[in-house]
Structure 1
């Protein structure tokens, strides 16, 4: 992804009001650049922002195998939306003197790691990113009302697919296996995510 757009940074900065807590969501299909933009924003805002990824609520590999869902990891029912909603609720209403610890997702292990992301109570902006922030099926419907704004990233589809394949290869899949996974599981999820684009506050085209 190119350098962060100044208009996006200023829009995020307007949410980082000291003494208040806002939550900004960044969503889009797999490979859209969500984690990149979220990281750019929080790096630029420094002590005003913290990054909390939705991917920390992936179900563990052992649980996915028990449920028979490991072959489509990344689909909505391979996450814990109830836990994610509970965390966002805590983050929206920070307790004085209480640091909230959020999970993160380690791509080298393909597992979520609890207690990885500290969010002190004085940080005014939490940025969260993930595929299903606008999803409104079942427990996922609880997520959108907990977010002050949601931005939907819309990259060129061919670039996005190529980026996804390369990412899977970097994390251990052979290229043929990466292409099969992307054309199957990832693209099914991308179609599902795209159906909820109209619920976003801002659609961001990505060159």
Structure 2
């Protein structure tokens, strides 16, 4: 979908592989309508660069899902486009509030698995059961959306801005280092 949006001239693909527009930065959802109607094509976006490769997305991603050194390059309508190599599985587990247990450590965060523990940004000692068939956002796009938005806002490169700064305080974390999953109070 992001490639279709790029080819439609709506914006650019940032280092995090998130689609960015000059109006909203990373804050939009993309949809497509298929038609046989003849349309005049819009030019590829060539405005001021939105992503300046500041790597805030890489630094802030709790799952380390965006590789800071390896990239993916594609040619789209004669334009070379590049983004950081992305690991969807690392993103999936971080999105749910998990982080891999260290070697020799037994995880308890995800029911039926012993390879994940709670990450410092989840308020839950165990992953909540699904209430719906989807939607388990614990991470909330800390790197790919929120850190990016903060940088775009600071640089003044997006049109739609908040009245107050997007983030005014340091993101919170939970210290799970002394948590004992066998403690009866944890159940």
TM-score range, shorter chain: under 0.3
Computing the radius of gyration over CA atoms, which structure comes out larger, 1 or 2?
Answer: 2
**Per chain length, whose mean CA-contact separation is higher, i.e. which structure has more relative contact order (CA < 8 Å, sep 6+)?**
1
Greater percentage in helix: 1
TM-score in terms of structure 2 length: 0.25
TM-score in terms of structure 1 length: 0.23
